[in-house]
Homo-oligomer: A and B are copies of this chain.
């Protein structure tokens, strides 16, 4: 999994930008306006998103249209896939533990406060 993706999304304003771009490509100025950012900060954040591969740019005369790229999201999705298998095992383990707990025969010594009488 690409670390850059997580770092890029870990910043509040950048996550907002990403969410915003779901509605379609936007210009730097539009992004700055809607998120109440100053233009330089918008540009800086977009640069980082760009280097992380989360967006790309299409120059249109004076303006630059930024839009989301689907690849990082697909990658994230595949990464999560390797955890879905793990989740299943996790659930199975839980069920197993509940079965164990339902059997009152063997005493366990964790969780037990302290019951020796000096």
Spell out A's residues near B (CB within 8 Å): 1, 3, 6-7, 9-10, 12, 15, 22, 58-61, 68, 70, 73-74, 76-77, 80, 82-83, 86-87, 90, 110
Q: Could you say which residues of chain B place their CB within 8 Å of the CB of A80?
A: 73, 76-77, 80
Q: Could you say which residues of chain B place their CB within 8 Å of the CB of A10?
A: 3, 6-7, 10
Given contacts A3-B12, A6-B9, A12-B3, contact A22 B76 (CB under 8 A): no
Among residues of B, the one whose C-beta sits closest to the C-beta of A76 is B80
A10–B70 alpha-carbon span in the complex (Å): 20
A59–B3 alpha-carbon span in the complex (Å): 31
Q: Could you say which residues of chain B place their CB within 8 Å of the CB of A110?
A: 58-61
Among residues of B, the one whose C-beta sits closest to the C-beta of A67 is B90
